[in-house]
Structure formats: structure tokens, C-alpha cells
């Protein structure tokens, strides 16, 4: 009995020592503050906002299964009007509405691709300003696509326009890539990638949307942070079906289709079958942000060596957004049953949308769902979907190049790797590029985040000069 007591006391003493070490490390690690604020440049803001406004006014909603080439050719004419030097000096390739521009550099061993999509999602509901008005009000450009992602497209076209006006010749080849089917997962970007493959081009760096300069990226973290997207989760849909002989609702059987689906859903909700892990990128993100938070965050997140097991348990239950960074997610999105209120369905269905994370990819995640569905006598059908993208090496030269550019253009702005939960066109470039970085150099606060794919999308004009300078600096520093 004494031996057991001594063992318990020893474990408690060790725990106290570890907690004290973590406390000392936290106290010795100075707290930081994100002080960066956008510098106002009224004349540049006015010029850039005017161009972005005209781009927003041209409606470029993409439709699944439709190419709509003529619509996008009209948008291209607007781009030619807004950026004449780009069209005079760069080699243009158009493929079914998707665009690729080539700016020959002095060297071709480290080509860079700057990209953003032309298409936008539909604009429904009641807006404060009409969704395709491009209204400029209170230093904000309003409308569908203003933030996602015509602001980026405007910025990198304008960057090249200004460099050409200065007579600048890039050290390395530059490509401007813009698909017209990003919002519907279409063939625009794959066709551009296929064209680059045909030419034997292997980009050193691809810069697409995804991360951004985010205001308050986590609860308790104040200020602005450059969240650099380095990892994109995969996506797939599973159709779960329950069958029976149907019948009249006046004599319902046990284990009807809807009851079995309900049991299946309840099981997942109560006992999520997907494994929680913290990858290298997730740890780097939390550790970096912790320095800018209150003491408790610096203590917990800044001592991952001690608190990781605890954090893996508590973080997913605190925030669904954080949970999405740590495991494959399961979302129940569509359901169907009988057409009649008094008729038992012969078949009831449920759609699961999964977002796959590297430590538990598509094959393993889908198999977990299949095994669980079998317990409830359910059938599973899968669409093709796609798996996660390999993470960008945050120790690579290409990643450090983007960090260096951010520090030069946005002094005192903290940089941080970021795990993407949504999808982008950059995933198609993974086949030919090891450094597909998702980062739009514009400021996104809560209002911008809410407006993308929602109501009242807008971007602040103070974001635009920095965005142009970011792309100019990427081109200049890529030696």
C-alpha cells in the first residue's frame, strides 16, 4: 500500500514540476501585440476601387455544368480596357473562358503563378447595396466578388500593369492564372494546369486565395494577422440510404428507414468517429498566435509539449471551427423520405459532406462511415470527391519568400501558417508545384468573412494598395 502511495505522490510531484516549468517558460516568453494597421493612400485607393467596382459590376456567376464562355469573354474585354499594358506585353491564352498570361523573365527556373478566379457565386436575398452595383460607399467597394476574389485579380493585374509602366523586366517568368469555374469546381483551372504541363512549366511558387490578413483569427487574439494557407482539406459526399417495403403510417414497423438513419446520425453526433490530431502546421499556428493572446492562452498553447493531449480533448468541444482544423469533419446536408405525410418511405436518404484531413484521408474516413452505416443496415454510395492536398513545407524557401514579402509590405504584421477548411483552385496546381500557398493580401474582418457567399459582400478600399504592392514585391523578390 505504501508503494502505491509513493508512486501516486511521485506522479503528482512530477506533474507539479512540469506545470512549474511550463509556467516559468511562459513568464520568460514576452507577450506580443499585433500593431499593424493599413496605411491610408487616398489617391491609390480611389484608382484601385474604381477598377474593382467596374469588375464587380460585370456579373460573372458561374453555373455547374455550363461553360458560359461568351459571358467571360465579355469580362475579358473589360480587363483589357482596365489593364492595357498587360494585354500589350504579356502572352495571353484563353481556354473556354479561363485565362493564362505569360510574362517572360530573364530566367525560367523559378516561375511564379499569381492566381484568383473570375467567377462568383449567385447573389440572393436582400442586400444593403445591389450585389452587382459595385457601389463605393464609406471607403468600401460593395458587391458579389469584391472580396472573393476580384480584389485579388484586380491587384495582381494592377501590379503587373505598374511594373510594365516602369519598364521593369522580371528576373523569373511570371504567370497570371484566372479560372472561370472555381466556385463550381469546374474544368477551368485544370485546363490551365494542363496547358502549363504541356509547356513543361513547373512553378516554384503558386499564390492563390485562401488565407488573408485576418482580424482576430481566434477568440482572445486581438489585431491583424497574415494567415498563410499551407494545407487544403479534401472533400467528398456520401449518400446514405435506408430501404424497406414502405407501407401505411397507421401500423409503423420497428427500425423504419428514417429511424435507422436517425440512429446513425445520433451515433456520429454523440461519438464522433474521426480521430483528432495536431499536425505540424496546426501546432505552428496555435503556438504563433498564443504569443499575442492573454496569459492563459500563452500558458496552454505555448507549451504544446505538455498540454497537447489535453488540448486535443478540449479544443474540438469548445469550437467547431477549431475542430475542423484537427479532424475530418462530417456535415449532414441533405435528407429525403416519403412524399406523403401518412406513407412510410421505401427509401430514405441522407447526404454526408466530409472534409478530409491528412492524418485521416478520404479512403480511411469513408471506410469508417461504411462500417458504422453497416451497423444500422444502411447502404453507402460515394461520389468521386478528392483527397487532401499535401501541406506546403513551412521551412521551405518558397514559404519564407512569402513571409519576407509580407514583412516588407506590411511591417509589424505577424505571419502564421493556416490550415484551410474550404476548397480552392490551388489544389489543381499541386500536381506541378510543391509550394501552393493560399494567401490573399487583403484584410478580412468578421463582416468580410460573413459576406463571402453570403449577404452584403464588400472589401475596404484601404486593403487595395497593400494588395497591389504585395504582388509587385513577390515578382521583384523572386530571384
Exposure string for 52-86, b = 16+ CB within 10 A, e = fewer: bbbbbebbbbbeeeebbeebbeebbeebeebbeeb
Residues 367-403 have pLDDT tens digits of 999 999 999 999 999 987 999 999 999 999 999 999 9
Instruction: Decide if 26 is inside a domain.
Output: no
Q: Residue 372: which CATH number?
A: 3.30.70.360
* Domain end (from 349, 382, 415): 382
CB of 174 closer than 8 Å to CB of 114: yes
Residue 344 pLDDT more than 70?
yes
* Domain end (from 357, 382, 407): 382
My answer on whether 227 and 289 are in the same domain is no
Exposed / middle / buried, residue 466 (Cβ in 10 Å: 0-12, 13-18, 19+)? buried
CB of 204 closer than 8 Å to CB of 112: yes
My answer on whether 326 and 458 are in the same domain is no
Residues 303-333 have pLDDT tens digits of 999 999 999 998 888 778 888 999 999 999 9
My answer on whether 81 and 225 are in the same domain is yes
pLDDT over 90 for what percent of the chain?
Answer: 83
Strand partners, 389: none
My answer on whether 242 and 371 are in the same domain is yes
Instruction: Decide if 27 is inside a domain.
Output: no
Instruction: Decide if 18 is inside a domain.
Output: no
Residues 214-258 have pLDDT tens digits of 999 988 899 999 999 999 999 999 999 999 876 656 667 888 899
**Containing structural domain, residue 410:** 42-232+389-477
| Helix runs in 90-218, H state only | 150-165, 188-199
> Which pLDDT score is estimated for 218?
87
CA distances from 129 to 125, 255, 456 (A): 11, 51, 7
Q: What is the mean pLDDT of residues 68-96?
A: 98
Q: What is the mean pLDDT of residues 65-91?
A: 97
Mean pLDDT, rounded, of the chain: 94
Residues 165-223 have pLDDT tens digits of 999 999 999 999 999 999 999 999 999 999 999 999 999 999 999 999 999 998 889 99
My answer on whether 319 and 331 are in the same domain is yes
Return the closest-CA partner of residue 235 out of 152, 302, 333, 340: 333
* Domain end (from 367, 382, 397): 382
Q: What is the pTM of this model?
A: 0.92
Return the closest-CA partner of residue 124 out of 453, 459, 458: 453
Structurally, the chain folds into a number of domains equal to 2
How many angstroms separate the CA atoms of 63 and 80, rounded? 24
Residues 431-472 have pLDDT tens digits of 999 999 999 999 998 888 888 889 999 999 999 999 999 999
Amino acid at each position: 500500500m505504501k508503494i502505491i502511495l509513493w508512486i501516486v505522490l511521485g506522479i503528482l510531484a512530477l506533474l507539479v514540476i512540469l506545470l512549474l516549468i511550463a509556467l516559468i517558460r511562459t513568464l520568460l516568453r514576452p507577450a506580443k501585440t499585433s500593431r499593424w494597421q493599413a496605411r491610408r493612400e487616398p489617391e491609390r485607393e480611389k484608382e484601385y476601387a474604381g477598377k474593382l467596382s467596374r469588375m464587380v459590376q460585370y456579373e460573372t456567376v458561374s453555373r455547374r455544368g455550363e461553360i458560359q464562355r461568351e459571358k467571360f469573354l465579355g469580362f475579358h474585354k473589360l480587363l483589357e480596357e482596365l489593364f492595357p499594358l498587360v494585354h500589350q506585353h504579356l502572352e495571353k491564352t484563353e481556354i473556354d473562358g479561363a485565362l493564362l498570361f505569360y510574362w517572360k523573365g530573364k530566367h525560367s527556373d523559378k516561375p511564379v503563378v499569381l492566381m484568383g478566379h473570375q467567377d462568383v457565386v449567385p447573389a440572393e436575398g436582400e442586400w444593403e447595396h445591389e450585389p452587382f452595383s459595385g457601389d463605393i460607399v464609406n471607403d468600401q467597394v460593395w458587391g458579389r466578388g469584391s472580396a472573393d476574389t476580384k480584389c485579388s485579380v484586380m491587384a495582381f493585374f494592377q501590379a503587373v500593369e505598374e511594373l510594365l509602366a516602369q519598364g521593369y523586366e522580371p528576373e523569373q517568368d511570371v504567370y497570371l492564372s484566372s479560372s472561370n469555374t472555381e466556385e463550381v469546381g469546374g474544368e477551368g483551372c485544370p485546363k490551365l494546369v494542363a496547358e502549363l504541363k504541356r509547356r513543361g512549366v513547373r512553378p516554384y511558387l503558386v499564390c492563390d486565395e485562401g488565407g488573408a490578413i485576418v482580424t482576430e483569427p481566434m477568440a482572445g487574439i486581438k489585431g491583424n494577422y497574415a494567415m498563410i494557407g499551407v494545407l487544403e482539406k479534401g472533400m467528398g459526399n456520401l449518400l446514405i440510404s435506408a430501404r424497406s417495403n414502405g407501407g401505411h403510417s397507421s401500423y409503423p414497423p420497428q427500425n423504419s428507414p428514417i429511424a435507422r438513419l436517425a440512429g446513425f446520425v445520433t451515433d456520429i453526433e454523440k461519438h464522433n468517429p474521426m480521430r483528432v490530431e495536431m499536425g505540424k502546421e496546426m501546432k505552428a499556428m496555435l503556438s504563433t498566435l498564443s504569443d499575442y493572446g492573454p496569459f492563459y492562452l500563452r500558458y496552454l498553447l505555448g507549451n504544446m509539449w505538455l498540454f497537447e493531449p489535453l488540448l486535443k480533448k478540449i479544443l474540438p468541444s469548445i469550437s467547431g471551427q477549431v475542430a475542423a482544423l484537427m479532424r475530418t469533419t462530417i456535415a449532414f446536408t441533405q435528407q429525403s423520405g416519403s412524399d406523403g405525410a401518412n406513407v412510410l418511405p421505401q427509401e430514405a436518404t441522407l447526404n454526408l459532406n466530409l472534409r478530409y484531413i491528412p492524418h485521416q484521408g478520404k479512403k480511411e474516413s469513408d471506410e469508417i462511415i461504411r462500417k458504422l452505416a453497416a451497423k444500422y443496415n444502411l447502404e453507402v454510395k460515394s461520389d468521386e470527391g478528392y483527397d487532401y492536398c499535401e501541406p506546403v513545407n513551412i521551412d521551405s524557401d518558397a514559404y519564407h519568400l512569402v513571409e519576407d514579402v509580407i514583412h516588407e509590405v506590411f511591417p509589424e504584421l505577424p505571419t502564421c501558417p493556416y490550415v484551410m477548411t474550404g476548397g480552392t483552385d490551388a489544389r489543381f496546381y499541386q500536381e506541378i508545384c510543391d509550394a501552393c500557398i493560399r494567401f490573399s493580401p487583403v484584410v478580412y474582418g468578421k463582416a468580410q468573412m460573413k459576406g463571402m457567399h453570403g449577404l452584403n459582400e464588400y472589401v475596404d478600399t484601404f486593403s487595395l494598395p497593400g494588395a497591389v504592392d504585395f504582388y509587385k514585391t513577390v515578382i521583384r523578390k523572386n530571384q
